[in-house]
Amino acid sequence: MDTDIATSFAVLLPLLAGLALIDSLSFGTLAIPVWLMMAPGKLRATKVMIYLATIGGFYFVVGVMLLFAARFASLQFEIDWNHPVIMLGGFVVGAGLLILSFVIEPPKSLQKDTTSKKASGMYTRLAAWRQSAVEDNVSALDARISQTNTKQRTKSGTVTLMSIAVTAGVLEVATMLPYLAAIGLLTASAPALGLGFVQSSGLLAAYCVIMLVPSLTLFLGRTVLRNAVSPLLERIDEWFAKNGQSTIAWVIGAVGVVLMLNTWSAVENVLFG
């Protein structure tokens, strides 16, 4: 039986799209943009677009560097990602991630009261940082309304937003397992699909765009429908407040399942010959 990893685009592309949509539910790619859209007063469309472009660009640049390093290591050490031992290792890692997701967020019947308190405390700290960042940016802009140097005012606000986006990316990139899994899939599938570095980078760019689709959709709705979308934005924010820790556990578990499914053929060969 064939044990290759993602030997066709019909397999690889849906996997990448699914991982990108999971990544789109992170604090940096969804929660913070929602807060920017919920800022009091008129929607500052430029603010939201600058933030989304910056965080998308940040992940693309980081991804290209990781992709280059992975491909270099594969060529340098002649790593065969389709070797049964490596695929079995991938299955074990996937199973470990799935188990870890239940450790982080046990079933409700086994949860103690302290679990929700920890989750609430973690989100409260993040929410305080995010609220401060948004308010500081708005205050900085409002404080300069009386100034005549519009160019300087715009530059200051842009730098602040970009710093927020990069900070969010730096804090989250190490924990965005779907993104790291996607880079692993691109690296492992490249030989079988004949993907060069440029083609893989193009797929990575598409991945980063898909990561932003939910936020872009909400932004479009907020622009066209205005305040009619506000209740939805508030519900999304409340969902993050209540399920911050659950989201992390769910993402880890989802990546584990993807790894297990993608390497199951090697386990099947070992078990059934």
For residue range 18-42, what is the model confidence (pLDDT) as tens digits?
Answer: 999 999 988 889 988 988 888 766 7
Look at the pTM and tell me if it is higher than 0.85: no
Q: What is the pLDDT of residues 232-266, one digit of tens each?
A: 988 888 887 776 667 777 788 888 888 888 788 77
More confident residue, 219 or 101: 219
For the chain, the C-alpha Rg in angstroms (whole number) is 21
- The pLDDT tens digits for 124-169 are 555 555 555 555 544 444 444 444 444 554 555 677 778 878 887 8
Q: Say how far apart CA 273 and CA 269 lie, in whole Å.
A: 5
Average pLDDT, the chain: 78
Dihedral angle, C-alpha 121, 124, 125, 126, nearest 10 °: 120
Closest CA to 38 of 226, 175, 263, 243: 226
